[in-house]
Structure formats: structure tokens, C-alpha cells
Structure 1
């Protein structure tokens, strides 16, 4: 690991240690502080051990038979893969306990300190993830899938995510998809999303004002496939001519102060280039310092079939807001790390689960035979009998009630080989540590044996099927918090929003007659912040699309979206009034 990255990592570690110590001393009981500090010390010791082992290994002259791949020694790649599990496991405890603390009744000052712990932990996690991902991609250990997917929907989703990053900033987000670009193609949608988000995210980071534009068109085509060209152009800080040629090299950033000012590991573009080349594509960059940057890449895609596009199950899309969804669920946990064991038991117990843990394999089989277990959570990398071996024993049991219990594996490291072995054994799903509470809850609800929920929660699962139109949904709870609980202030803000909506309707009606799309775009841009304020995400998405259509000079599309707005806004306003009345009564 380069010296600059080592210093960065150790600096982040020291900052996190100070925050943890201060929080533990001032806000926690002795027992709580001990749990948190023990978890952090385990994490720190593991990280420092591997950093200094790496330094020693690099200082020893290497034998001639040491093989280099793409300029990186194989032993270094093995080292990176190995520390992933060692570092992520204790980091999982730190993040997990911080999440649990955040759910407690803390003072505002305590919440700030927990947030500081979470921020520092997630910064470390991001750094570790990027280094690990680069190692996996460059050594050929990343799995690339080939499925039919809707390219236009993917591009729309990516741009919507970027819209959330530039809210209230003077940046125009533009997209132009040529009419010859096919809607359905065959390839890896997650990798394309990752590439686009890396590039657009860079632009968002480095653009203070101006625009960011994504263009997509078909470069070449045949009966079976096409070559698509994507370009991301921005008016950002740009890159000096001497730096452009090395910008894709690992750990490289445009200028010496870029990391300290904007953050990051310097691996984003390296990972992007690796992915594109693995997909048989090519990438290039043009930039002028203080003027802007354009990154262009080309990828070949076979044409796909609409019938092959997988639609998400309705039940997988519901929002898991209530932990009581899992009340009564009986779960067995195979986890050897005591910190993580305590953490997951506390998480599951808070959700009303009955948890079995801390047992031998033989004792575990007895528990499985004597109880109606709904799900098994299995740590794959236990030191003695690992999770793969335990899962094989369970799947090979003669008792059909035991061998059919759903198993969700979790680990701090997961390779393509692990994925294949999980499928062969019959493991149902997988969680990568550190996972969020929502990830854990989603995996349990999705896989657990008892699919019928208690009657009082059945409506939560059914809600997406009878949910009102997405463009009419609002939520004022966050806005009320922003108003410090002052209902009068909330009433004034909602009143102001309604006036802005009326003004928008009038402006669009006038400017549509002359097709002055620039004025309509300005009105839409002003109103979308209001929809974000009242958490009307569906209608905000429609307004964003209307604004983009104006900037792409598509008057017919603008008329279509405006009519949709006129159809749905009255019901949204009615829901807004009802929500306000409900809060006024409290």
C-alpha cells in the first residue's frame, strides 16, 4: 500500500479512536463502553498488524520467481484479499453498535457523537472496499453477469440518483439518448451502473456550477449487437495536461491537494477503466484545466429481449420501516466472533425474534430438531468448522424439517468461488459485512420459512399492491423535524409550497404556447426543491424528467409530462392537506 494511503488510513483510524474514546467516557455505562472499546481495539490491532506486515514484506528483497500481474505482485493481491476479512469483521461491530446506539433515547449531543463514529467508520469502510474491489477486478476474481436489461430505465435511474446529489446546487444535469440506442440489451447492468455513477459522481464532486451532461448513442450496429458510446461531460475544475495521461493509474488523483479537499482513494477511475476493459470496451478522457472534462467510453452490447427482463417482485419492494415485521421469528445464528454474536443477538431481539446462538454443531442439530426454526444465519469463515461445512451437514440431514431450513450466509469477504459453493450446497442468500440493519431485515423477511405475517402487519406487505399512485404520495414528518416541531412554521412552509405550485402551473401554461422551454425548465427547477421538502419523491421524479426534457428540447415530451402533472397534482395536494391536518391534531 503506498505511503500516502497508509498515512491517510492511519489518520482516519486515529480520528475514529478519539471520537470513540470521548463518546465512551462521557455517554456510556462502564459495560457499554467496554464492549465498544474492545470492538474498536480488535479492529485497530488487526489493521495495524497487516499494514506493518505489508511494509516489512515490501522491504524484503523479492525472489526472482515472484510473478507480477498488471504491475502488481500476486502476493500483494493475496495480502489485500486476506486483510479484507480481518478488518471488515471488527468494523462490522463498530458500525453495528453505532446503529444500535442511534436508536436509543440520546441527547442531541450524543447523537452527534454517534454520527461522528458512523461517519469515520464508513469512511474507513469505503477506503477498504475500493482497495479490495480493485484487487479483485484486476486479478479476475469479480463476477460479470449477462442478463437482459432495460438500458433506458437504467440511465433514468442513474440520473435520478445524481439529481439527489446536486439538490440546491447551481448544476444542470442533462441527458441525451439518441433514438437509435436500443431499449433492451444483454449484459451486466450493475457494472454499467457502477461505471456511470463513478463518472457522474466525479463530475458532481468537482463541479461548483455549470452543467453535467450524459450522452449515449449507437456508434455501430449489426443484426445481433451494437457498439454504444457513452460520454460524461462537465464544466468542473478540469485536469492539467501533464496529469491526463496518468489519471487512470492506481492511487492517482489530478492534483496533490485533491484528496484532502475532495476525499477519495484515487482508485475510482482505475476501477472504472478495469471494468470497461473486462467488458471488452475502451475509455478515454479529454480535459482542460479550469474548463471541464469529458470522459468517453464504448461498450459492445448484444440486443436483448423484453421477455428476458426480470421484474422485481412487488413484495421485495416494500419499505421495511417496522421491526415488528419479524416478531415471533425463530432464528439460529452460527457466529464465532463474540462481539458480532452479541451484536446480532441484540439486533434480532429488539425486533422480537427468538434467537439461538453459542453452541456446538451437535447441540445446534438438537436445537434444529426440537424447534421450528424459521431461518439460519451462517458465518462462512469460522475458524474450526467453517460455515460451508456446517451448511453441508444441515443440508445432508435425514430430517426433512432440518435440511430444508433457509440459510442466509454472511461474511466479511465473498468471492466468485464462494458464490458457486453456496449455490452447490443450497445456501439461499448472502450478506456482506458490514451490513445495514435494513439489509439484515430484508434478507430475513425475504428468506424466512414463515411467510405469513401476524395479521396486524399483513397490511404492510400488501400495501404496495393497493398503494396510491406514486406521484401523489407525501410525507411531512421530516419537514416537521426541520421546523423543530413548530406546527405554525410547518403550516407556513406548506402554504408557500402550494403558492409555488400554482405559479408553476401558470408559467408552464403561458410558455408552452410559445415553446419557451428554457423558462419552463427554470420553473421546474424551482419547484422540484419543494417536492423534495415534502418528500413527494414520485412527483419530484416527474418534475425532474420534465426539466431534463426541456433542456433536451423535447416539447412533445414536456407537454405529456405536464399533463400528467395536472392529472395527479390535485390528489397530491389533497393528501398534503390531510397530512397537515393529522399533524395539527397531535
Structure 2
């Protein structure tokens, strides 16, 4: 028992709480078990119900197909009869040669107007009293029938077959002609009349006026159950209809529908214990999907159940003897299709799934009760013992809370009142500014009570305005718990005002640094694009101009301009590389390469330059070097090129030495040393101190005398440090300089990474014919397109141009291209979207992106979009030729893909990348169009209308494309009002068209 301070006793609360918990948990276990059982029952019933509804839906589809098949055959027969009735007596007589042939073959002739048409056999009882000329109207009918029937019959899935005969049964026409040349002999009949007496369906005595009157008034076709066709020896349903002229029958037509295809149509997937029957109006079986010798018992059950429980009109019904049946009438003559299956069908198809559901329910219920029993033994009983001790220590805890040195409070979540608080909490509570809510109310509002949030919420920050106007920052930790059976919030907080002030200053400094870095990156990207783009045009056209016949003075001037442009390009490359190093965006490769070969290539590059200046140039490669090292050969080559270039630049007479050797010949892991020595102008110690600073040179006169930016050595230092190496310089004024680069390159045991083919001869030896390669060039700038096409033409390639992504997609779908070269930044559909669209259509051709700035994120976006290679402007002929040939060569080694698998975007749902690109391009073009119309800028209006028209023409939306074309014509005529009106109608039409293509995709899914 627990006693209160006044001596009263009260019931042991932990014991009562324990009983309550156990009752609640066990009761919840029983309730959950019942819910799981009921839920499993609902799931099983739903699965069975869904299956039955699916079977009924499948029946409805098959019934519709059969009914359409019958209606089509009846319609075509009726059309043929109406045609014969309208032309009987007015048709031109048959050729005399046909009558003569009919007479010569004793009343037999076969007509076949074309080798691809089925022949028509016509038979007649030619006698002295009934000569061949007496059958002339029927022979003319047969000629016309063969002409009309042949093309139409070839497109039918169930071939047209049947015959027609005269009412006196003396003339007989068969389509198609039987294989046997002598039908009468094959059937054993002496003449046509006897043959027709055997096979003609009985529609009554055609000589009886009463029968004729009934048939003329009815004017409907007559259906006959299946019978074995004497010509094809296959069972067939017969459809009979007479033709009248002046109230008399002159022809009876019989259409045969073979039973085999109909049974295949009705059989479907052929499930176990399932059957479809075609019954006549009297309930007799016409067709059955049961295999011969099987299904008789199920057929009888279906007939009995239908007779007992089904109405003649049909419908869906589940009979008492376990049959699920559905029926529907398929002909006007009362033929009915009946489909039935049993519980065994259902169990065979979904029994395993139902068993899994039931077993899963048993497993979950069993697991839950095992868990509950374990909780009772392992948790509730020990908790009861612990709660006794906790209950007894409550008074001590309250005292400890009050004396806590930090802010501490226990708040009621329901009433919002303070249950417990520390002295510090009480102090802050009383010192809060009067215009502010009380501290405990602020703490309650700070706690997130939304569903799914954790009970423990820590490191929450809250500013608190005090009575003297100061603002303190509090760091709050809160946890939701129980206290005396009620939801409470346990809060603790501490004053972090000093820390927050420091963080604010750091954030301000960081924001300023980020802004400066972003501005620098934006400036470099802009500079790269704005300078490289005209440089691309300059160098590209200079290279093309250099390949044309020029006078010596012109060649000299072209060489001077080319040299100056190349030098400018080198400066830009150094600046961008240095910026990458400074911003941490420079990445190094680690591949196997031949260091000696790299140094020899640099020597081969500069040896002619040195000799032209009158200098001795030597290259020494230590034989002790390993065959291959791991590292970045491109950056090592860049370091060596900069050092040798400087040595030659600053040396007027004497020699230049390039060497590479091991720092320690006795160590297997010795670093390698690259040294460059010259006998040039040298440097003073003061000049050497600023030698590796960016944009500085030894003295101010060097830039005027020798040129350069002073960035090359600074870049060498940064690259060397990235490779964990060092660079040293020894120099004396007027006595030359020596630069020593030490790199810790690990030895590679693998083969070096082979360089791609880079010469035309090598590609031609690989079997690549430049004239056979077709390239699509995509760029929104006319000058860029024409330059690239001119470069490709100089290299011998055939190229087409496209001014937008939409136009490029349309051209790509119209003809075959071996490679696509595209600009990245284009209005509407940019290069990334174009590449994604091509890949989504299944295109595997190489795609090259041409851009003026290649940052890391640009390369990542190109890779994700499916672009194979990036060429950095300016692109010269050698680089372009090598890249094109390499990619075409690699594409030729890939497995061939089936072009039929390419997704057709001319109709149906659009692939997501294409749809997104068209929508984005439409939005941008509409915004630009409205602005351009207000300014009267018809050139911009025409450009954007042309781009939009190309996008919609690509996806075969003629109505939208024609609307664009109409506005283009108005814009050419400067009809601003007409363009405005057309644009108001065009915008909803365009968006509705694109929305429809998405809705189709959803419905197809």
C-alpha cells in the first residue's frame, strides 16, 4: 500500500495498471485475430468474385466477336443479293467465247480473272433443250461475281466460301472452285440438278408461290447448323438468301462459315472444366468447344441447368448445381452462345493464390499470439516489478526536477499546464516579455504533433524575448511520454545565445564566400562560351580557308592569324584549368601509361620549334624507368609542355634539355623526376620568389618582350601538388634556369590504356568510308551550323542541318544517320532533351555534343542524357575527324539492333522525355511570342512559330502544325492582329493536344 502525507491509503496503482495493460493487450490480440480472419475472408471472396467477373467479361468479348462475325457475313451476303437484284436483266451478256467454252466443256467452266483471286467454278446441265446460251445470264453473273469478290475475299480472316444456284437447280456456281476438276463424278451425281438436291439447304419448294411469297416478304437470311461441306470436307455453317426479280426467285446464294476458326475463337485459353456452346432456338447444340470424346457430362449439365434456370434472352446466372453460366443471343434466328465453368475451374486457376492468403493469415495470427505471450512473460511481469520501485521514487524525482540546474519542465499536452518545473524554468517564465506568450505555451507550440513524427524531438531552436528587451536563443529538447496515465511533454532547454551569434557571423561569411565563388564560376562559364564560340568560328574558318588555293602573302597572313588565335586559345585553356584547380573541380585520372612515350611526344612537338629558333634541343629518357606507371598522362604532358615552352621562349641562344629519370635508382618505388634546363635569360632570387604566383612574371618587361600571361608555371605548381609532387627551380640571371618536377607515380603492372585512333589512314584501314557516313548537325545558330557542315564536307562527310531539336527528331525519323552532332544550349528542346528523346526511341547512333564550356555537371548531364562524346569549341578538323571516325568505328562493332523496335511517335502516347521537352519548348516559345508581338519583332515571331510547328509536325499533329503555318504566313504579311487572334486560339489547342497524348498513355497503361 502507498500512503499519502495525511495518512490516507489508496489502491496500489502499479498493480491496477498492470491488470489494465494485460487485459488491453490480450483483448486487442483477440480483436486483431478476428479482424484478420474477417479480412482474409473478404480478400478470398473478393479474389473469387473478381475472377468470376473476369470470366464473364471474357465471355462478353468472345460473344461480341462471334456476333460481329455473323453480322458481317450476313451483311456482305445481303449486299451481294441486293447488287444482283439491281443488275439482273440489265447486265451485259457474257463474252461469246465464254459461252462457247461452257458448251464445249459440257456445262463446266472455271473463271479466274487474276492469279491472286480465288477461281469460280460454274456448272450447268447443258442439254439440247437447254443449250449453253440459255445460261448466259448466269454466266454473266459469274463473271461479275468473280470480278467483285476476288480482291475483297483476300482481306478476310475466315475466307469467303459458298455457292449459288438457279431456282430450277440446273445452274451451279462454286467459290472457290473445288480442287477436283469433275465435281459431278466426285459426288456420284449424274447432273447438277441431282447434286443440288443433295447439298442445297432446304428453304422450301421454290416453285410453290406460297413459299416464294413468304421468302419475299421476310427478306432475311436463313441460318443452317453445321454440315460437312462436300467440296472441302470441313464442317461449316450455311447462310442462305434468295434473290428476287419481278417477284420471282432467280438465284439462291449460300455462304459457308467454317466451324474450325469459330471454335478457336470461342475456346480462348482452354481452361479446365470450362465449355462454350452455340445453341439454336430450340436449345440444340450447334457448336461446342469440348474436345471430341470429352466434356459430354459438362455439356449435359449446361443444357439441364439452362433449361431449369435460364431465360431464352440469356444473361449471367449461377445455378444451384455449381455452374457459372453466361449466355447471349448472336443471330436474329435465335442462336445463343452459352459459356459455363465450375468451381473446379476457379480452384485450378486461383486456388494456389487463395491457399497462400489463408496460410498467410494463419501465420500472422500465430506469430502475433506467440509475440503477445512472450510480451506477457518477458515484459509485463518484469515491468510490474519495476513500476513498484518507480512509483515509490516519484517524490524523490519531483525534488530532483525542482533542483535541476538547467531549464526543465513537465507539461500536460491536453490542458497545457505545468506539472513540474525547475527553478531556472520558473525564472525564465517570470522574466518573459509581457507582449510574448508564456514560456510553457511557446514550448507546447514548438512541439510537432502531426502524425508520423517521432516522440523525441531534439535540438529545436527558439528565440525568447525577455522583459528588458533582450532576445535569448534557447536550444530545446522535448519528448512525449506518459505521466500518471496522461500524455505529457518532457522539456529541457539551455541558453545558446553566444553560440548562435557566432554561427550567424559564420553563415554571413559563408554566404559571401559562396556568392563570390558562384560569381566567379558564372563569369568563367560566360567567358568560356563568349570567347570560345567566336574562336570556334575563327579557327574553323581559318582552317577551311587554309585548304583553299591562296597566294603566298595570303598564306602568310592566314598563318599569322591562326597562330594568334591558337595562342589566345592556349591562354583561355590555362585560365580555365587554373580556375578548376582553385575551385576544387579539377579531377585526375589514374590509368596505366608509358611515361617515356609521353615525354618523347612532348620533345617531338617542340623540337622543330627549337631548331627554327636556332637552339639545340635534347631529350633524355632514363632506361631504368618502369614500362608503365599509374597516373594522369594528360596533366603530366601539360606540365612538361608548359616547362619546355617557357624554356624555348626565354632562350635566345644555346640549348634546351628535357629529361626524365628515377630519383633513386636503388629503390623500387622511387619517384620520377622531370627536368627542363635552358641557357636563357635566367632569374634573380627576388624574381624566383613570385615565380609561381598566378598572373605574374619575373619582371614587368617580360610580358612586353616575350608575351604570355604568367599563368603557366602557377598551373604547373597546382597540378604537381594535386599529384602529391613537388616542383623546384634553380636559376641565375643570364645563366639559364632548371626546373625539376618530382612525382610519386606508382608502377603499373597492367597494360597501358590504348589511345583511340587519331589518323585518317588508320581509320581507313579499319574499313570506314567517309563518304558513306551521314551526319545530322543540330544548332540554333545558322553560322555555327554552316561552319560545322563545311568542316564535315571538307573531311568528306555528308551532313544535313537542323535548326532545333524538334526538326532534328523529324529528320532523324525520315532517313538514316550514322552520327548526330548537336549544340547543348538551344531554345525549346535543348541538346540534352534531344539526346534523351533519341535514346528513348531506341536510337543507338553516336551523339556528339559541341559546347564552349565543359564543367563537371555538364559532363554528368551529357552522360545521363546518353551523349557519347563532348567536343570543346573551337573544334578543328583533325579533332573532328578523329572523333567522328572513332565513334562510328565503335558503333559498327556494337550488336545490330532491330529498327522495327524503334518506338513510333507519330501516334499514340508520347515517351515521357519527348512529351516533357515539347511542353517546355511550347511554354518558352509562347512567352517569347507574346513579348515579340508586343514589340513588333516579326523575325522572332517567325523563328518561334517555325520551331513550334516543327515539334508538332514531328509527332504528326497536323491540325496544330497547320495553325502554326497559318500564323507564319500572317507574320510574313505583317498581320499583327491576325497573329494575335491565331495565337489566342492556338495556345489551348496545343496544350489540349499534348494533354490528349498523355491521357492515351495513361489509358494504355
Question: Is the Cα–Cα contact under 8 Å of residues 676 and 740 in structure 2 kept in the other structure?
Answer: yes
Return the structure number with greater strand share: 2
Aligned to 1:442: 882
Question: Tell me, which stretches of 5 or more residues in structure 1 are unaligned?
Answer: 1-62, 453-586
Asked if residue 424 in structure 1 is aligned to residue 868 in structure 2, the reply is no
How many pairs align?
382
Structure 1 CA distance, aligned partners of 2:569 and 2:791?
21
1:144 is aligned to: 588
Corresponding residue of 2:751: 308
Partner of 1:7: none
Match of 2:720 in 1: 276
In structure 2, how many angstroms separate the alpha carbons of the residues matched to 1:434 and 1:128?
11
Closer, same or farther: CA 151–117 of 1 in aligned 2, 3 Å = closer
Equivalence map 1:157-168=2 (5 Å): 157-168=601-612
Q: CA deviation at 1:224?
A: 7.8
Query: Paired residue for 1:235?
Result: 679
For residue 301 of structure 1, give the secondary structure of its aligned residue in structure 2: coil
Q: Tell me whether 1:318 sits opposite 2:761 in the alignment.
A: yes
CA distance in structure 2 between the aligned counterparts of 1:325 and 1:417, rounded to whole angstroms: 35
Question: 1:111-131 CA deviation, whole Å, 9 max, x = no partner?
Answer: 334334333333332322222
Partner deviation per Cα, 1:33-82 (whole Å, 9 max, x = no partner): xxxxxxxxxxxxxxxxxxxxxxxxxxxxxx9556569xx95533431232
CA shift for structure 1 position 215:
4.0
Instruction: Note the alpha carbon deviations across 1:72-116, whole angstroms, 9 max, x for none.
Output: 955334312321012211221122222223333333333334334
What's the RMSD between the two structures over aligned residues?
3.0
> CA contact under 8 A between 2:662 and 2:673: conserved in structure 1?
yes
- Residue 291 of structure 1 is matched in structure 2 by 735
Q: 1:392 aligns with which of 833, 836, 843?
A: 836
Aligned residue runs from structure 1 range 476-495, under 5 A: none
1:363 aligns with 2:807: yes
* Distance in 1 separating the partners of 2:542 and 2:891: 30
> What SS does the aligned partner of 1:253 have?
coil
Task: Write the distance in 2 (CA, Å) between the matches of 1:383 and 1:67.
Answer: 32
Q: 2:845 aligns with which of 405, 409, 412?
A: 405
Equivalent position of 1:130 in the other structure: 574
Q: In the TM superposition, what whole-angstrom CA distance separates every residue of 1:164-193 from its partner, at most 9, and x where no partner exists? A: 221255533344444543231111111111
**Closer, same or farther: CA 347–253 of 1 in aligned 2, 3 Å:** same
User: Following the alignment from structure 1 to structure 2, what is the Cα–Cα distance between the partners of residues 417 and 97?
Assistant: 30
Q: Which residue of 2 aligns with 1:267?
A: 711
Deviations, residues 492-542 of structure 1 (Å, cap 9, x unaligned): xxxxxxxxxxxxxxxxxxxxxxxxxxxxxxxxxxxxxxxxxxxxxxxxxxx
Q: Cα distance 1:387–1:298, how it changes in 2: closer, same or farther (>3 A)?
A: same
Bigger mean CA deviation after superposition, 80-89 or 104-113: 104-113
CA distance in 2, matches of 1:176, 1:350: 40
Question: Comparing both structures, which one devotes a greater share of its residues to helix?
Answer: 1
Q: Map 1:24-103; keep pairs closer than 5 Å.
A: 75-103=519-547
Cα distance per residue 1:408-433 (max 9 Å; x no partner): 11111112333333333332222111
Determine the C-alpha separation between the residues in 1 that align with 2:536 and 2:804.
24
In structure 2, list runs of 5 or more residues that go unmatched. Answer: 1-507, 893-1005
Please, which moves more after superposition, 186-195 or 408-417? 408-417
Given that 1:224 and 1:302 are in contact with CA atoms closer than 8 Å, whether structure 2 keeps it comes out as no
Whether contact under 8 Å (1:320, 1:438) holds in the other structure is: no
Q: For 1:450 and 1:346, locate their aligned partners in 2 and report how far apart those are by CA, in whole Å.
A: 24
Cα deviation for residue 251 of structure 1 reads: 0.8
Structure possessing the higher relative contact order (Cα contacts under 8 Å, 6 or more residues apart) = 1
Q: Distance in 2 between matches of 1:317 and 1:311?
A: 17
In structure 1, what is the equivalent of residue 312 of structure 2?
A: none
**TM-score with structure 1 setting the length:** 0.59
* Aligned 1:170-569 pairs, distance under 5 A: 170-219=614-663, 225-305=669-749, 307-312=750-755, 318=761, 325-397=769-841, 400=842, 403-448=843-888
